[in-house]
């Protein structure tokens, strides 16, 4: 009986996590970055690694390794109007799918997924494909991001500079 | 030089397209000119390919590209650094497609011809078909000339290229000063950001000594740092001690923080407050003098050094350009660390690098946006020149020929175009 309950709980949490990730994706495509900040737990990290094998992000060069302070600065830059690349950023449409629940420890779930972003700017559409890992806390009742890792499949190649968030 | 290029490039017109104070916009998009640039500049002179710290052990290699030509930079068993054309002598396949790694040799995937770390052809299968036809000893991977200065590895396709130290010339003392940011430790390459922009390589070449753009293009980055750092890093706009200087052979220098030119000279100024926490950590294991030396070096040196044609030593990192086509360029920003230095300080250096550099940094995307706008705009008004004349009214010339003007002036660009024209006019 308990096992069934646990399985049910796990499935419900998984479903909530997926709904949360889709909501985040929609927010990012809409460039509602201030609302995006509210999705985060203050201790969380937003990471875009370069090295596909990297796990110790603090000791490695990343594209982005943002704690709360850096996330706030990044969003401030995006919406400030002072950045030419952000003010004239590509329009994006992203699809997130292929979800798997990789850990459902008490209060925190880890969900892996695939993300494909098509970014359109000045007549050119560019693809940013990545494996995502979201760690989402349900400790407060509401889902909160405690880590998002975006592993671009071409992270070690020369990328196009962007004015939006992955 | 291909026959096609010879036929399409009329060098007598270069003087019409490149003057001391202005250039023709077609320099940014003429595909024939681009082919000639590969032949006369990138396949002739010294081109930076790697830093020695990337190849600490025998067998360590990294691959890169000079112009369109793939090469392997590898340390062999004797400790020597070789730069080899990444092309099997049989049918031309690349023999290595990894960005970096360690290897005992390189084997072609097509017919298994295998080469030693010095390029020697070691073996090929079923050799009876070559008996009396050709000798293995005649078929090594082709080698480029290699020159190393302060750990910077340069290569040239031209066997008769001038000695590297002669080519670096007036830039050498500034390279020496740049390397002092190791704070007593050797400098180590510590990862890199790579990105592309839709624009000509010379737009990037111009940019490293273009301090005039900095407070404009990087306003959003400036807003994201503390006031103390922002004030220090833009003081050059009004400082009379900040300057731009031509160093000969196309090289140039822009000094933006004069008090950080020689990091061995401590002016005793208070350390930046943003590093207080780090300084306290370092003080547990280092003397006060060492702490000051390390912290004062975190942002790098107070200047950008442009080495024609593809490397810039830019405050705290290497900036490397690679021309892809007339209208596309690849940029690498190589982060630097103190090899064997304190981890907490090297982590701060990584965070500083991430903050500004790379395709998702707070600085580089705005640079790329400005450069792409230059590329697009340059197609309008083909007869309207691009100006590189800022500061001609206050430029002075020293006895050794080096020209100096204010840090925001375009003396460095003029030096790069002077060298560009000299090389392009060579038959």
B331 CB neighbours in chain A (<8 A) are: 158
Residues A83, B197: C-beta atoms closer than 8 Å: no
Contacting residues for A86 by C-beta, under 8 A, at least 6 apart: A77, A78, A79, A80, A163, A164, B220, B365
Residue B267: Cβ-neighbour burial (10 angstroms; 0-12, 13-18, 19+): exposed
Q: Nearest CA to CA, how far is A155 from chain B (Å)?
A: 9
For range B126-132, the mean pLDDT: 95
- Do B219 and B131 lie in one domain? The reply is no
A59 CB neighbours in chain B (<8 A) are: 343, 347, 350
CATH number at residue B257: 3.90.380.10
Residues A159, B331: C-beta atoms closer than 8 Å: no
**B355-394 b/e (C-beta count within 10 Å ≥ 16 → b):** bbbbbbbbbbbbbbbbbbebbeebeeeeeebbebebbeee
Q: Encode pLDDT of B34-79 as tens digits.
A: 999 999 999 999 999 999 999 999 999 999 999 999 999 999 999 9
Q: Nearest CA to CA, how far is B352 from chain A (Å)?
A: 10
pLDDT over 60 (residue B6): no
pLDDT over 90 (residue B31): yes
Query: Which phi and psi (to 5°) does residue B418 adopt?
Result: -65, -45
Model pLDDT, residue B2: 40
- Do B140 and B215 lie in one domain? The reply is no
For range B77-97, the mean pLDDT: 98
pLDDT in tens, chain A (166 residues): 456 667 666 888 999 999 999 999 999 999 999 999 999 999 999 999 999 999 999 999 999 999 999 999 999 999 998 899 988 899 999 999 999 998 877 789 999 999 999 999 999 999 999 999 999 999 998 999 999 999 999 999 999 889 999 9
Q: Are A152 and B194 in contact (CB under 8 A)?
A: no
Averaged pLDDT of chain B: 94
pLDDT over 80 (residue B372): yes
- Do B237 and B301 lie in one domain? The reply is yes
Confidence of residue B234 (pLDDT cuts 50, 70, 90): confident
pLDDT over 60 (residue B172): yes
pLDDT over 90 (residue B199): yes
Model pLDDT, residue A21: 98
Residue A87: Cβ-neighbour burial (10 angstroms; 0-12, 13-18, 19+): middle
Q: Encode pLDDT of B139-157 as tens digits.
A: 999 999 999 999 999 999 9
Model pLDDT, residue A8: 67
Contacting residues for A23 by C-beta, under 8 A, at least 6 apart: none
Confidence of residue B7 (pLDDT cuts 50, 70, 90): very low
Model pLDDT, residue B5: 40
Residue B145 belongs to a domain? yes
B379's enclosing H/E stretch is none
Residue B138 belongs to what domain range? Answer: 47-156
CB pairs < 8 Å spanning A and B? 98
**B301-340 b/e (C-beta count within 10 Å ≥ 16 → b):** bbbbbbbbbbbbbbbbbbbbbbbbebbbbbbbbbbbbbee
User: What's the CA gap between A147 and A66, in Å, rounded?
Assistant: 10
- Do B199 and B131 lie in one domain? The reply is no
- Do B97 and B180 lie in one domain? The reply is no
pLDDT over 60 (residue B129): yes
Residue B212 belongs to a domain? yes
User: What's the CA gap between B72 and B116, in Å, rounded?
Assistant: 12
Q: How many domains does chain B have?
A: 2
% chain B with pLDDT above 70: 97
Residues A50, B370: C-beta atoms closer than 8 Å: no
User: What's the CA gap between B297 and B317, in Å, rounded?
Assistant: 12
Q: Which residue has the higher pLDDT, B222 or B167?
A: B167
For range B227-251, the mean pLDDT: 92
Q: Hey, which residues 58-97 in chain B have their CB within 8 Å of chain A?
A: none
Model pLDDT, residue A1: 47
- Do B100 and B147 lie in one domain? The reply is yes
- Do B51 and B194 lie in one domain? The reply is no
Q: Express the helix, strand and coil content of chain B in percent, nearest 5 each.
A: 35, 25, 40
Structure tokens at B360: 């998702």
CATH number at residue B126: 2.102.10.10
Q: Nearest CA to CA, how far is A88 from chain B (Å)?
A: 9
Asked if B347 is an interface residue toward chain A (Cβ–Cβ < 8 A), one would say yes
pLDDT over 70 (residue B12): no
User: What's the CA gap between A68 and A59, in Å, rounded?
Assistant: 18
Residue B17 belongs to a domain? no
Q: Nearest CA to CA, how far is B32 from chain A (Å)?
A: 25
């Amino acid at each position: 009986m308990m096992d069934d309950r646990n399985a049910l709980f796990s499935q419900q949490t998984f479903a909530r996590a997926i709904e949360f990730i889709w909501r985040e994706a929609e927010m990012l495509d809409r460039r509602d970055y201030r609302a995006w900040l509210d999705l985060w737990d203050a201790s969380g990290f937003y990471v875009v690694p370069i090295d596909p094998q990297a796990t110790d992000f603090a000791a490695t060069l990343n594209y982005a390794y943002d704690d709360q302070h850096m996330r706030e600065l990044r969003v401030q830059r995006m919406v400030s109007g002072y950045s030419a690349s952000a003010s004239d950023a590509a329009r994006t449409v992203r699809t997130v799918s292929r979800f798997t629940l990789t850990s459902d420890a008490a209060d925190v779930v880890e969900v892996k997924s695939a993300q494909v972003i098509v970014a359109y700017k000045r007549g050119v559409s560019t693809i940013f494909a990545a494996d995502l890992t979201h760690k989402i806390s349900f400790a407060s009742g509401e889902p909160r991001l405690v880590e998002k890792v975006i592993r671009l499949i071409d992270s070690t190649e020369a990328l196009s500079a962007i004015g939006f968030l992955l | 030089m291909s026959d096609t290029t010879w036929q399409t490039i009329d060098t007598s017109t270069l003087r019409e397209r490149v003057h001391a104070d202005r250039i023709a916009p077609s320099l940014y998009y003429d595909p024939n000119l681009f082919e000639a640039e590969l032949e006369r500049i990138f396949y002739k002179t010294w081109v930076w390919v790697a830093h020695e710290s990337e190849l600490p052990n025998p067998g360590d290699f990294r691959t890169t590209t000079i112009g369109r030509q793939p090469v392997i930079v590898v340390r062999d068993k004797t400790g020597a650094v070789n730069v080899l054309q990444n092309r099997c002598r049989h049918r031309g396949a690349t023999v290595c497609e990894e960005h970096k790694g360690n290897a005992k040799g390189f084997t072609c995937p097509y017919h298994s011809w295998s080469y030693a770390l010095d390029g020697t052809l070691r073996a090929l299968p079923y050799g009876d078909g070559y008996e009396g036809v050709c000798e293995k000893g005649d078929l090594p991977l082709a080698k480029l000339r290699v020159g190393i200065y302060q750990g910077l590895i340069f290569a040239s396709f031209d066997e008769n290229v001038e000695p590297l130290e002669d080519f670096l010339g007036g830039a050498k003392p500034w390279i020496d000063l740049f390397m002092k940011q190791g704070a007593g430790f050797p400098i180590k390459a510590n990862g890199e950001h790579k990105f592309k922009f839709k624009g000509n390589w010379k737009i990037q070449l111009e940019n490293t000594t273009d301090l005039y753009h900095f407070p404009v293009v990087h306003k959003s980055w400036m807003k994201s740092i503390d006031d103390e750092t922002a004030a220090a890093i833009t003081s050059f706009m009004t400082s009379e001690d900040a300057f731009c200087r031509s160093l000969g052979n196309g090289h140039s220098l822009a000094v933006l923080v004069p008090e950080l030119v020689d990091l061995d000279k401590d002016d005793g100024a208070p350390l930046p407050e943003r590093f207080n926490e780090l300084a306290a950590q370092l003080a547990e294991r280092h003397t006060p003098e060492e702490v000051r030396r390390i912290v004062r070096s975190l942002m790098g040196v107070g200047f950008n050094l442009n080495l024609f044609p593809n490397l810039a030593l830019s405050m705290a990192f290497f900036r490397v350009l690679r021309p892809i086509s007339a209208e596309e360029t690849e940029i690498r920003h190589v982060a630097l660390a103190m090899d064997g230095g304190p981890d907490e300080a090297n982590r701060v250096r990584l965070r500083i690098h991430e903050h500004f550099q790379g395709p998702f940094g707070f600085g580089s995307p705005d640079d790329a946006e400005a450069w792409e706008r230059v590329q697009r705009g340059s197609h309008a008004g083909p007869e309207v020149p691009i100006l590189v004349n800022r500061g001609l009214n206050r430029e002075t010339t020293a006895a050794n020929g080096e020209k100096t003007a204010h840090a925001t002036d375009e003396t460095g660009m003029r030096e790069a175009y002077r060298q560009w024209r000299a090389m392009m006019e060579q038959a």
